[in-house]
């Protein structure tokens, strides 16, 4: 059907941002807040595409961003979350306050992939590489070959992750930095849980049989999970995830007994 381009490419700058552009963008967002990205460049006097402005802000200029210095714990958390979620970088980023999906994606591709390969683990499936039996990863998968949480709308050249995320689950975010900035991950207003000392040694079963589980497209925006229950904090004062139960469909993960299916 041919959509109109997001901006007039003939009159937009591309490539690296200058300090002046950054300052203009920061000043504008401070004054007017985020949003209206399409009209923002003009209003802010920037010769940039709105998408470009959004990306620059989200990935680089936001005041609540940490940069660099991934710790070993961060690595392990990312690995576990990736085993759980697949390439859902925005969801993974939602569990790492101050990190962006782009940063995590880059870090995954440049560091963690290699790390896993050196352990003899397939970075996409989180299973031992062919023939290798040893695995340092503790993620347990009770079944093999069940559908990926990745959207079906995109061809996924790689095998599915070993863990299925139920749709409609609420992914509670840990508290970001104290400044209260609303980081703009995919699970924007999800309730918060305390810093997660994640034990994602999840037992998993086949995907839920609920009808809502089928359209992968629906998962794209709404796949959110409360991990608090599994961590033993759900329902406690640290977790307010039940408030999310009023939202469309609330599921939370709980440990399954061996052989038990959702």
Partner DNA sequence: AATGCATCCAACCGCACCAGC
Partner DNA sequence: AGCTGGTGCGGTTGGATGCAT
Binding residues for DNA, per CB under 7 A? 1, 3-4, 6, 9, 13-17, 35-39, 48-52, 54-56, 59-60, 67-68, 87-91, 101-103, 105-107, 109-111, 151, 153-154, 184-186, 215-218, 220-222
Strand-strand pairing, 192-193 and 173-174: parallel
Tell me which residue of 51, 28, 26 sits closest to 38, measured CA to CA.
51
Nearer of residues 140 and 156 to DNA, judged by Cβ? 156
Rg of the Cα atoms in the chain: 20
| Long-range Cβ contact pairs of 243-250 (< 8 A, separation 24 or more) | 243/191, 244/170, 244/172, 244/190, 244/191, 245/170, 247/170, 248/168, 248/222, 249/167, 249/168, 249/212, 249/222, 250/168, 250/169, 250/170, 250/226
Residue 19: φ, ψ to 5°: -60, -40
Closest contact distance (angstroms) between CB of 171 and DNA is 11
Least Å from the CB of residue 185 to DNA? 6
Q: Whose Cβ is closer to DNA: residue 4's or residue 130's?
A: 4
| Least distance in angstroms from the C-beta of 240 to DNA | 21
Task: Compute the least distance from the CB of residue 235 to DNA, in Å.
Answer: 27
């Amino acid at each position: 059907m041919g959509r109109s381009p997001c901006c007039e490419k003939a009159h937009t700058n591309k490539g690296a941002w200058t300090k002046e552009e950054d300052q203009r963008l920061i000043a504008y967002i401070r004054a007017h807040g985020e949003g209206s990205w399409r009209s923002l460049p003009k209003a802010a006097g920037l010769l940039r595409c709105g998408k470009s402005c959004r990306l620059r802000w989200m990935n680089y200029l936001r005041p609540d961003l940490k940069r660099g210095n991934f710790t070993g714990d961060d690595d392990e958390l990312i690995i576990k979350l990736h085993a759980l979620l697949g390439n859902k970088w925005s969801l993974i980023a939602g569990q790492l306050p101050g990190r962006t999906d782009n940063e995590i994606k880059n870090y995954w591709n440049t560091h963690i992939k290699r790390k896993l390969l050196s352990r003899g683990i397939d970075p996409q499936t989180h299973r031992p590489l062919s023939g290798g039996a040893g695995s340092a990863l503790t993620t347990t998968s009770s079944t093999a070959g069940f559908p990926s949480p990745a959207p079906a709308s995109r061809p996924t050249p790689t095998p599915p992750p070993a863990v299925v995320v139920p749709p409609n689950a609420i992914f509670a975010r840990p508290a970001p930095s104290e400044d209260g900035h609303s980081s703009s991950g995919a699970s924007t207003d999800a309730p918060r849980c305390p810093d997660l000392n994640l034990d994602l040694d999840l037992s998993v079963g086949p995907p839920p049989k609920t009808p809502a589980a089928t359209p992968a497209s629906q998962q794209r925006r709404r796949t959110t999970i409360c991990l608090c229950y599994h961590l033993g904090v759900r329902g406690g004062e640290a977790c307010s995830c039940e408030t999310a139960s009023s939202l469309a469909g609330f599921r939370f993960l709980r440990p399954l007994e061996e052989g038990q299916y959702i």
